[in-house]
């Protein structure tokens, strides 16, 4: 089969697809990824063929009032507003280029992520079956409902999308929060967070617990740097080694003696040697910790991060501190609790085992070949 892949231009959405795309290619299928410039480059560096849908376009370009908006809150209404303000206009922006790629490549199947709205429309126009690939929790129904309403002008021109044939769900069933719109294939989250030459100390035996800190690759408006600063201050007198997997745009000043700042370290390598993770609630960070059985402290600031953090806390595998709760002392107490209380470690280990017991990417490929042949 010829398979075209589209994703939101976000590493946290695209990286969960990579193991399945590798498996599809290893099974002999021709896989091509179509995304804007920088993410096409990310796909190529992951060992996948890619085509560009044009220059990157920022949130401020798609939503000019973004900078003046109040900070995002927890809840479906705020999440729906965020998704609609960026991913709906993005679909308008890329759909012509994506349609041109489909006409040239003539794929047999389209695979896309949640929040990628152009791919389903183009697939329906050309009669191509599609598979939706998850990257975290099922979204509250209000999100797609609001986006569907705002996409009506696009539908009037291009036609409405058909339902996906399958949904590849990489969230363990006991953690999943919603009901999918189509039959699901529960696939193990096989962590991939990029690649790098690893420092020698990362694989060496450590004489005290390691705390992995990641706040994502996308700078969060407003409080991003101060959340990191409070976190590092909170851990400065705790007997742990702290490793900050620094994302682009993240600034670390006055780094305590027990902290290493390591730009570009893959989370799946860092978390294998860590005892606790501190994350912002992004899917890539939360599920990398989950796949390695780490209890985690989640410090959400925007988007679906609140939903991810709250579900981890409800599952007993960590603690979630919302804005206003994430003071230095609360962060310190939370990390000490996760290090010293067996319950969270036990629940995190259970989620790791549940994840490991789901279908492998190659098993999902075998199923898809059977039903789509």
Per-residue model confidence (pLDDT) at position 71: 61
Give yes or no: residues 35 and 180 share one domain. Answer: yes
Residue 195 resides in a domain: no
Residues 208 and 165 in one domain: no
Contact 246, 194 (CB under 8 A): no
Q: Examine residue 53 and state whether it is found in any structural domain, yes or no.
A: yes
For residues 93 and 21, membership in a common domain is answered with: yes
Q: Does 26 lie in the same domain as 168?
A: yes
Q: 212 and 228, same structural domain?
A: yes
What pLDDT shows up at residue 249? 59
Domain range for 349: 200-356
Is 193 a domain residue?
Answer: no
Within a domain: residue 35?
yes
Query: Do residues 210 and 316 both lie within one domain?
Result: yes
Quickly tell me which residue has 């560096």 as its tokens.
45
pLDDT computed for residue 252 by the predictor:
67
Query: Does the residue 181 lie in any domain?
Result: yes
Residue 158 confidence (pLDDT) = 96
> What is the number of other CB atoms lying within 10 angstroms of the CB of residue 9?
22
94 and 233 in a common domain: no
Contact in structure between 173 and 359 (CB atoms under 8 Å):
no
Q: Tell me the pLDDT of the chain (373 aa) as tens digits.
A: 999 999 988 888 999 999 999 999 999 999 999 999 999 999 999 999 999 999 988 766 776 665 556 566 667 788 888 888 889 999 999 999 999 999 999 999 999 998 999 999 999 999 999 999 999 888 888 888 899 999 999 999 999 999 999 999 999 999 998 777 778 999 999 988 888 899 999 988 888 999 999 976 655 555 667 888 899 999 999 999 999 987 655 666 678 999 999 988 899 999 999 999 999 999 889 999 999 999 999 999 888 899 999 999 999 999 999 988 989 999 999 999 999 989 999 999 999 999 999 999 999 999 988 877 6
Within-domain flag for 194: no
Can you give the CATH number for the domain in which 255 is found? 3.40.50.2000
Same domain, 111 and 60: yes
Say whether both 251 and 326 belong to one domain. yes
Q: How far apart are CA 47 and CA 314, in angstroms?
A: 37
CA-based radius of gyration for the chain: 20
Q: What is the DSSP string of 247-292?
A: PTT----S--TTEEE-TT--HHHHGGG-SEEEE-S-HHHHHHHHHT
Do residues 160 and 225 both lie within one domain? no
pLDDT of res. 4 = 98
pLDDT at 65: 62
Residue 183 counted as domain residue:
yes
pLDDT at 89: 92
Tokens found for residue 335: 């990390």
Q: Is residue 31 in a domain?
A: yes
> Residue 8 has what pLDDT?
87
Compute the distance between CA of residue 255 and CA of residue 311 in angstroms, rounded to an integer: 31
Largest distance between two CA atoms of the chain = 62
In the three-class reduction of DSSP (H, G, I as helix; E, B as strand; rest coil), residue 161 is classed as coil
Distances in Å between the Cα of 7 and the Cα atoms of 67, 72, 153, 206, 343 are 25, 23, 21, 38, 36
Are 165 and 305 part of one and the same domain?
no
Distance CA 91, CA 86 (A): 9
Number of independent structural domains in the chain: 2
**Domain match, 253 and 286 both:** yes
Count of alpha carbons within 13 angstroms of residue 29, beta-carbon side: 27
């Amino acid at each position: 089969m010829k398979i075209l892949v589209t994703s939101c231009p976000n590493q946290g959405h695209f990286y969960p697809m990579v193991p399945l795309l590798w498996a599809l290619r290893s099974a002999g299928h021709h896989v091509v990824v179509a995304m804007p410039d920088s993410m096409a480059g990310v796909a190529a560096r992951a060992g996948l063929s890619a085509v560009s849908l044009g220059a990157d376009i920022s949130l401020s370009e798609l939503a000019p009032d973004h900078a003046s908006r109040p900070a995002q809150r927890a809840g479906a209404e705020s999440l729906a507003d965020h998704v609609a303000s960026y991913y709906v206009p993005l679909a308008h922006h890329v759909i012509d280029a994506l349609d041109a790629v489909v006409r040239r490549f003539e794929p047999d199947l389209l695979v896309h992520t949640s929040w990628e709205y152009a791919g389903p429309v183009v697939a329906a126009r050309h009669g191509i079956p599609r598979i939706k690939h998850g990257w975290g929790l099922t979204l509250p129904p209000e999100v797609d409902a609001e986006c569907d309403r705002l996409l009506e002008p696009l539908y009037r021109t291009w036609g409405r999308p058909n339902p996906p044939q399958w949904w590849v769900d990489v969230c363990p069933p006991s953690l999943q929060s919603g009901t999918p719109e189509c039959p699901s294939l529960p696939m193990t989250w096989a962590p991939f967070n990029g690649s790098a030459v690893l420092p020698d100390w990362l694989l060496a035996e450590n004489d005290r617990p390691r705390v992995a800190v990641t706040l994502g690759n996308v700078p969060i408006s407003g409080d991003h740097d101060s959340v990191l600063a409070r976190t590092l201050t909170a851990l400065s007198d705790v007997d742990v080694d702290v490793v900050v997997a620094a994302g682009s745009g993240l600034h670390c000043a006055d780094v305590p003696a027990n902290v290493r700042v390591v730009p570009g370290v893959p989370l799946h390598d860092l978390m294998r040697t860590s005892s606790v993770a501190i994350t912002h609630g992004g899917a890539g960070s939360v599920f990398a910790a989950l796949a390695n059985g780490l209890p985690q402290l989640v410090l959400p600031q925007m988007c679906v991060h609140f939903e991810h953090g709250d579900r981890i806390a409800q599952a007993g595998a960590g603690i979630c501190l919302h804005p206003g709760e994430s003071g230095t002392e609360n962060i310190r107490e939370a990390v000490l609790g996760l290090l010293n209380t067996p319950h969270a470690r036990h629940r995190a280990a259970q989620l790791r085992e549940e994840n490991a017991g789901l279908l492998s990417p190659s098993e999902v490929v075998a199923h898809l070949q059977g039903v789509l042949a």
